[in-house]
Chains A and B, each alone.
Chain A
Amino acid sequence: EAGVTQFPSHSVIEKGQTVTLRCDPISGHDNLYWYRRVMGKEIKFLLHFVKESKQDESGMPNNRFLAERTGGTYSTLKVQPAELEDSGVYFCASSHAGTGVPSGANVLTFGAGSRLTVL
């Protein structure tokens, strides 16, 4: 089974530019999550898709971030315009609906992350 794929693995852009990160979840996984790790901080939740619908976007920092999940398959996370504080590693994770025993334990498979550097 192929894992969660993310690209680019590393992106270096200047402040004010736009970057789009892509995530291909494991085939058949309805749940797709974006998390972010800023240097020196813990990994933090950004948002959660169930198929193509946003279930929870309470972690999105501001309206410069736009996430989409076309047809419930791959997802993109666009940052426009990028700011210095957006630098970090963006992780995507996916899971089956109702994964885990007992039901409710959300067993996530993470991608390797996309490292974003904003200069």
Chain B
Amino acid sequence: QKEVEQDPGPLSVPEGAIVSLNCTYSNSAFQYFMWYRQYSRKGPELLMYTYSSGNKEDGRFTAQVDKSSKYISLFIRDSQPSDSATYLCAMSAGGANSKLTFGKGITLSVRP
């Protein structure tokens, strides 16, 4: 079983839709949960990070973590064509090393 599972999609939605992206994980040691956005031919860019369980909101983006279910989500409200990118979840146990374990990523396309 992979440590992090993410539906690879792709996902296509009309402009203005609410988008829900999800990941599940198996490693109970994960404490930090991140969402990265990657545009074509660019490196991943940190979008949001959350420590332990709970919600975090930043503009149109909301990250949720449910550690009891080992399930994390990213919601995008009022999606825009500029949101079209690959979204990767990533997790770490924290501490001195803090290497990230990534999901496969899902490619999102927002149609005008």
Contacts and interface: CB of A to CB of B under 8 A. Distances in A.
Contacts of B6: 42
Interface in A62-110: 91, 93, 100, 102, 104-110
B63 interface: no
Given A42-B105, A104-B31, A105-B32, A55 B97 contact: yes
Interface residues of B, number: 29
Say what secondary structure dominates the interface of chain B. Answer: loop
A19 interface: no
Contacts of B4: 42
Interface residues of A, number: 26
A42 B41 contact: no
A100 B31 contact: no
Nearest to B3: A42
Contacts of A91: 43-44
B62 interface: no
Given A105-B51, A105-B94, A110-B44, A48 B99 contact: yes
Contacts of A102: 51
B80 to A, nearest CB: 23
Given A43-B90, A105-B94, A110-B36, 5 more contacts: A35-B100, A55-B96, A104-B51, A104-B95, A106-B94
Interface of B: 2, 4, 6, 31-32, 36, 41-46, 49, 51, 88, 90, 92, 94-105
